[in-house]
């Protein structure tokens, strides 16, 4: 099962956060947003198929996120959590911890924003178009 989000990078993308990564529907990004990889997302968790959301609530589920931009690609995996709401209409957040809020779609990730390849981050900082594919497998 998968969900696909289209967004774009932004000149303030630094991808330096140690515990989260985020994609937002907002059309702006301040330098303080060091976890945000892309802006102007065309979808948010509140738009996801209910079956997909339910699959993400399985603690045994593997949730894989693929970020693609300008010929560069990075994959990060984590797992599901029974408290995932995926109710945000604004942003989607992956976490290395087990913290859950309405924006969280995956916990226990292998790495956060700071772990993304610097070539990909450079493309994001140049405003490249971004495709985010989220797959869940139980």
In this structure, what CATH number is given to the domain that contains residue 123? 2.60.120.630
Residues 6-61 pLDDT 10s: 999 999 999 999 999 999 999 999 999 999 999 999 999 999 999 999 999 999 99
Distance CA 137, CA 6 (A): 21
Buried b (16+ CB within 10 A) or exposed e, 111-133: bbbbebeeebbbbbbebbebebe
Count of structural domains, the chain: 1
pTM score over 0.75: yes
Residue 138 has pLDDT above 90, yes or no: no
Q: Which domain covers residue 31, as residue numbers?
A: 2-137
Distance CA 83, CA 58 (A): 9
């Amino acid at each position: 099962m998968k969900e696909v989000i289209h967004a774009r990078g932004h000149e303030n993308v630094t991808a330096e956060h140690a515990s989260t990564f985020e994609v937002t529907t907002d059309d702006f990004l301040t330098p303080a947003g060091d976890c945000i990889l892309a802006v102007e997302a065309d979808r948010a968790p509140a738009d996801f198929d209910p079956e997909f959301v339910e699959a993400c609530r399985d603690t045994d589920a593997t949730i894989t996120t693929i970020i693609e931009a300008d010929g560069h690609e990075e994959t990060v995996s984590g797992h599901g959590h029974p408290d995932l709401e995926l109710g945000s209409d604004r942003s989607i957040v992956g976490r290395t911890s087990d913290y859950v809020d309405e924006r969280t779609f995956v916990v226990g990730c292998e790495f956060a924003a700071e772990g993304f390849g610097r070539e990909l981050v450079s493309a994001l900082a140049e405003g490249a178009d971004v495709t985010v594919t989220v797959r869940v497998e139980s």
